[in-house]
Amino acid sequence: MKNIKVLGSGCTNCKTTAQIIIDIAQANQIEIDLEKVTDLSQIMAYGVMSTPAVIIDEQLIHKGSVPNRELVESWLLGE
């Protein structure tokens, strides 16, 4: 199971990012534990200055924009 965090204020882009991840995980029957992190001090602890940001297994892999579906698939499917 992948532990995924979407960092952001809860804005539309952050919600869209989380939903893309959920949709792709469900479509590919991948178990994930998704957490939405909105606390500014927690976001800053990852060194993130622009959101949305995505953390997978405690590693920052994306920040500053909504990732496209192909990119998310590459994260979840390891391609």
Tokens representing residue 29 in the block: 């029957």
What tokens does 63 get?
């920040």
**Alpha helices (runs of H) in the chain, residue ranges in sequence order:** 12-27, 40-45, 69-77
Q: How many CB atoms sit inside 10 A of residue 14's CB?
A: 21
Which tens digits make up the pLDDT trace of 15-70? 999 999 999 999 999 999 999 999 999 999 999 999 999 999 999 999 999 999 99
Look up residue 25 and give its two tokens: 């995980």
Provide the whole-model pTM: 0.94
Q: State both tokens at 75.
A: 């994260």
